[in-house]
Chains A and B, each alone.
Chain A
């Protein structure tokens, strides 16, 4: 009974969060390199705000939204029972232990098993929020290891634009500004592609979607 109530509450909260995200950002999804498809995918995006996956999630068609789980840091999302409810029950996050060196379960295995159960993932390969003036931090190797473990699944680069202006670090009240979420063409790990080659290609594909393009 409590479980049913909790899942109803989680659904309502999810709708409220989507509505709020639209009210503040009038967010628009631009599918430039691909289309929303009923197909398992790994969306990887730039990360500058706690709201990033909310925005990406909001522009996915509701049917895909239900099967898409963000990969997030356990240290942040287990801080309080409210955050835990949002992180685990509303967004069904795959929580990764970033702090512990020898985590009980290796992150790549956690993500792989989430993929094996049929869900899509939202991944922030920079590993942490980008607070610098650079457009992207160097990617951590997680994306490469995941692509090696599950090579058949599409990797879709997603550029989230303007959200860092909506909620700069340390502010609590979001500023209404228009945001866009741009989806690029699918990537796959190529045969005998090295880790650094693959990560460089993935970074370039993501940067190409930003308003300044590849060159800036």
Chain B
């Protein structure tokens, strides 16, 4: 654990340096504004950087808190994400029981199963058990209006907000030879690579972005931003091979997979937002929007990353 803690502190220090540089740039840009005026882009940039500080500090504290800290942090992220998701669904009064069960039974149980490392259960609990039981609860209430839509929305909400996010702490349960006690670094690796890819896509997009990829889904996403962000984040992921059980080449491959999944996750979650006529999922994270706005890329990459690593490196 000591070696792992040293690596973690090195990584956090690196992230800290990046944030300090970002903060300095943000403040210089803000100071260079003509007196009395302010730019929405720069204000938003600085709000985002401030929120990044808070998120990095929280994640760092959770890492220091070990397994319990990580499970509680991501359990809370699931709760906040589910709250945002269900708010935008067309669920009705008749879904009250099913949704209360989703929040107060399915969600905690999923994280308890991860705590007890019961892979055979937590990997199918929501896709099988919740999938079959939730429609039964909704059917008992007798309302058939938009039944299929409501049931499907509830299942989607659980899959995205609970199942997908829970695969981040599930990385702690992997049993990788010569990597015991260091699994928390896999979480740090996934989160850093995917989030830095989001940031770099934004930066490349602002600098050289021209060709819109999906104007009807997400007007700010450009081909230049996506390719630049994914490739440069993959390069950073490759350079982080030393905190993982991977070789540099394997690290490059996995980074490419998670950053691509992250980008596509952002597109899918944007499509849902456009469908519902909202700009952001919520408002809890200043400058970013809601929890799902910040986690959309992580939640699409986490289950894939988990299963690739489990298939390739886990021995249990």
Contact = CB atoms under 8 A, between A and B. Distances in A.
Interface of A: 26, 28, 162, 165, 168, 171, 173, 175-178
B53 interface: no
B87 A162 contact: yes
| Dominant SS among interface residues on chain A | loop
| Dominant SS among interface residues on chain B | helix
B284 interface: yes
B80 A175 contact: no
A26 B83 contact: yes
B96 A171 contact: yes
A178 B104 contact: no
Nearest to A168: B93
B41 interface: no
Nearest to A174: B100
A176 B82 contact: yes
11 contacts: A26-B80, A26-B283, A168-B96, A171-B96, A175-B86, A175-B96, A175-B100, A177-B86, A177-B87, A178-B87, A178-B282
Contacts of B87: 162, 177-178
Interface residues of B, number: 17
A28 B99 CA distance: 22
B122 interface: no
B79 interface: yes
Nearest to B102: A175
B103 interface: yes
Contacts of A28: 283
B296 interface: no
Nearest to B91: A165
A28 B290 CA distance: 12
Contacts, number: 32
A31 to B, nearest CB: 14
B84 interface: yes
Nearest to B79: A176
B179 to A, nearest CB: 37
A17 to B, nearest CB: 19
Nearest to B84: A178
Contacts of B283: 26, 28, 178
B96 to A, nearest CB: 5
A168 B100 CA distance: 12
Interface string B74-91: 000001101110110001
Interface in B84-138: 84, 86-87, 91, 93, 96, 99-100, 103-104
Nearest to A177: B87
A76 B180 CA distance: 60
Contacts of B99: 175
* A-B pairs with lowest CB-CB distance, top 5: A178-B87, A176-B83, A168-B93, A177-B87, A173-B100
A168 B80 CA distance: 21
A173 B82 CA distance: 16
Nearest to A25: B83
Contact of B284 (A26, A162, A173, A175): A26
B255 to A, nearest CB: 33
A177 B99 CA distance: 10
B103 A175 contact: yes
A26 B100 CA distance: 17
B286 to A, nearest CB: 12
Nearest to A173: B100
A133 B96 CA distance: 18
